[in-house]
Amino acid sequence: MPDLTVTLCGIELKNPLILASGPLSWSAAGTRAAFAAGAAAVVTKTIRPQATVNPAPHIAALGRGSLLNTEGWSDLPAKQWIKRELPAPADRDCVLIASLGHTPAEVVRLARPLAEAGADMLELVSYQAEDAAPMVAAAKRAVSVPVLVKVSANWPELLEVVEACLRAGADGITAIDSIGPALRVDVETGRPLLGSFAWLSGAAIRPLALRIVAEICLRHNVPVVGTGGVGRAEDVVEMVMAGAAAVGVHTAPLLQGLGWFGKTLARLEGWLDEHSHAYLSDLRGLALPHLQEPASHTPLTFAFDVELCTQCDRCVTVCAYRARDLSPDGQMLLDEAACRSCGLCASVCPTGALRVALP
């Protein structure tokens, strides 16, 4: 059985999956259900002194595993979280991370009470990039539990913010929050999907999240909770290969139900077995050295397996230069003089029959 344990800021997690902040972690009932489903850690819905009142509606599915939302922070006040909704450590064998927003003054007021109520870590989150480092500094003065800071792809100077937060004492980074503002219009009514601009999460943001995780990990030896668009076990592996120490997820279990955790963990073990990896943590950062290599200009060579080819013709259709063809007897033909080595044909092959041969 492969070992899925990871370490985050000195705390061992039984697997890499963390339920990120959002509606599923709305209360003690939500966090307990996520623990029971297999999440190794849960980040609460963001806690502020006053409860928010969300517009109706405020979440819409976009198809293909993505969501738009206009949800604010927790609709329970901080007092209630501290008194009733942060289950005591004795009551659970999983790690509870309290999400705290959105200003330095709120951190001064709430960091210590949340830690004293039982949070194993804090995750600080703000809409304003300039507030992130002062929030970290305030939290580090108030608590001894590890402090994560959540960063947003909306911040143009994101890497400078990360650096300032690390200088202020952050123990780890969560990357990324949902991004936007974004817009979809319901063409039947002519109205914006959620009545306004909204925040995008899920599959649509995964490549952006991966790039940001990798950029942080290339510069800093710091634990990063890679968050954004993870939907399958292979996405968990990809996030770890980009450098993530653990993996945050919200959209996938929100759309598919909390059973997503069990299914994904089983598939993750299967994937590691199939690829002969005994430890998930061995894969951490595997992609990073390749990001520092210069781009290759050597023409591509291809491997073709006639047994796997279903003659679907996709590789032929996508070639802008008409360099590829299939012969009537199923042989793959390539006009090498016309081929520009773009690689698209192999990347669309659904069966792996056509592959770019690695150097």
Ligand X SMILES: Cc1cc2nc3c(=O)[nH]c(=O)nc-3n(C[C@H](O)[C@H](O)[C@H](O)COP(=O)(O)O)c2cc1C
Please report the beta strands in the chain, taking only residues with DSSP state E, as ranges in sequence order: 6-8, 11-13, 17-19, 41-43, 59-63, 66-69, 95-101, 121-125, 147-151, 172-175, 179-182, 185-186, 191-192, 198-202, 224-227, 246-249, 302-304, 324-326, 332-334, 354-356
Q: Which of 22, 87, 223, 243 binds ligand X (CB under 6 A)?
A: 22
Nearer to ligand X, 13 or 249 (CB): 249
Considering the rule CB under 6 A, would residue 25 count as an interface residue with ligand X? no
**Residue 73 binds what, of ligand X, ligand SF4, none (CB under 5 to 8 Å, by partner type)?**
ligand X
Considering the rule CB under 6 A, would residue 23 count as an interface residue with ligand X? yes
Site for ligand SF4 in 285-344 (CB under 6 A): 300, 309-315, 318-319, 321, 323-324, 326, 334, 339-344
Nearer to ligand SF4, 278 or 344 (CB): 344
Distance CA 150, CA 142 (A): 18
Considering the rule CB under 6 A, would residue 69 count as an interface residue with ligand X? yes
**Residue 319 binds what, of ligand X, ligand SF4, none (CB under 5 to 8 Å, by partner type)?**
ligand SF4
Considering the rule CB under 6 A, would residue 46 count as an interface residue with ligand X? yes
Residue with tokens 């591509």: 300
Which tokens hold the place of 172? 């780890």
Distance CA 4, CA 278 (A): 9
Count of residues of this chain found to bind ligand X when the rule CB under 6 A is applied: 27
- Return left, alpha or beta for 276; rule: phi > 0 is left, psi -120 to 50 is alpha, else beta: left
Considering the rule CB under 6 A, would residue 41 count as an interface residue with ligand X? no
Site string for ligand X, 245-274 (x = CB under 6 A): ----xxxx----------------------
Nearer to ligand X, 110 or 125 (CB): 125
DSSP 3: B
- Judge whether 306 and 330 are in contact, CB under 8 Å: yes
Cis? peptide before 102, omega within 30° of 0: yes
- Judge whether 265 and 188 are in contact, CB under 8 Å: no
Backbone angles phi, psi at 261, to 5 degrees: -65, -50
Query: Nearest distance from residue 348's CB to ligand SF4, in Å?
Result: 6
Give me the residues that bind ligand SF4 (CB under 6 A), please.
300, 309-315, 318-319, 321, 323-324, 326, 334, 339-345, 349, 351, 353-354
